[in-house]
Amino acid sequence: MGSYDDSPPVKELNLNGPGFPIRLEPLRANGWLHDMKVSSPTASPMNNDISGTLFNPVYRAWIKKYPSALNVFDKIVACGRGKKIALFLDYDGTLSPIVDEPDNAVMSDQMREVVRNAAIHLPTAIISGRAVDKVFDFVKLTELYYAGSHGMDIMGPVGKSSSVADHRSCTNSNKGKEVKIFQAATEFLPVIEEVFRLLVESTKGIHGAKVENNKFCVSVHYRNVDEKDWTLVAQCTDDILKMYPRLQLCHGRKVLEVRPVIDWNKGKAVEFLLDSLGLAHSDSVLPIYIGDDRTDEDAFKVLRDCKQGIGILVSSVPKESHALYSLVDPSEVMDFLKRLMIWKEQEATSR
């Protein structure tokens, strides 16, 4: 996941702890352990104890910088008036709650209906660190685009694949539901499989460590590893990574990710989809990207730099971001999407 991150909700907002502020600095700058702590901030469900948080000057300064997308909803939709909205959604921590066991990150039926409704009316893509098949197994909707493995593996909805240009590869339908339309790093598949097996072997003695094969990247989860053993996780991963110069390490929340060294990320995936759908560089399009992880920052940055779209960070702790606005958790994401679709329907009927 890495990107499909997960931090268990804890009780207090630790504004002075290692999770705040997160600086978007080069990884490994101060050693992996430091990065592992910085990338895994202590989360806090602000809804549970919002009174204290609201009066915290650090939080108040942060929310001023990244206003709640619900509070500034009218301002956001004003930007989308008369435009085509394209929706990009991260999965873990955005559409599904963060859980200890990645395989249990189930999306609620209510959220699924909200996303389905959005996908029927707007071009919608889910962009995740997970393998695309895993994301589909969770979401189970055929109406949208899926970009798995941080956007390195993109599938389109049934009947729409022909509208998306295929730059590098095109394969037959998968499960009869979607069509693979883009794979950025096909040549890495055997290497990733090999590294996955090596990491499973080398970390099997570390209690709580879990290695996940996400097709174009390998995720080493340490959420359930005692913090005193985090250096062991880092050492095992580093020992193997050293043998593969064409692979690199990325930090997510409670996860180390081994990925191909290629110029590709969630931001590139957003650009690819916008371009392929004929929606890039257009004043009549408003892309909205909602995500909670460090890897979502690449997408926020793309939208911020092109001044074409809106990034919304899902976070219950103050942290630096390229996003413009914030939402606390997946339930607020659902509220935002519901309001967006109601507004869209009203806008369509008023024209």
Q: Which residue ranges make up the site for Mg ion (CB under 5 A)?
A: 4-5, 90, 92-93, 292-293
CB of 299 to Mg ion, least distance (A): 11
Which helix (DSSP H) or strand (DSSP E) does residue 86 occupy? strand 84-89
Strand 218-221 versus strand 285-291 pairing type: unpaired
CB closer to Mg ion, 90 vs 153: 90
What is the 8-class DSSP label of residue 205? T
CB of 54 to Mg ion, least distance (A): 25
CB closer to Mg ion, 276 vs 336: 336
Confirm if 278 and 114 have CB atoms less than 8 A apart.
no
Half-sphere exposure of 269 (CA within 13 A, CB side): 36
CB closer to Mg ion, 93 vs 157: 93
Burial 99-130 (b: 16+ CB within 10 A, else e): eeebeebebeeebbebbbbbbeebbbbbbbbb
Q: Which of 90, 92, 298, 329 is catalytic?
A: 90
Which of 20, 22, 4 has the alpha carbon at shortest distance from 12? 20
CB closer to Mg ion, 5 vs 178: 5
Which helix (DSSP H) or strand (DSSP E) does residue 346 occupy? helix 330-350
CB of 283 to Mg ion, least distance (A): 30
Active site residue 90: yes
CB of 5 to Mg ion, least distance (A): 5
Instruction: Show which residues are catalytic.
Output: 90
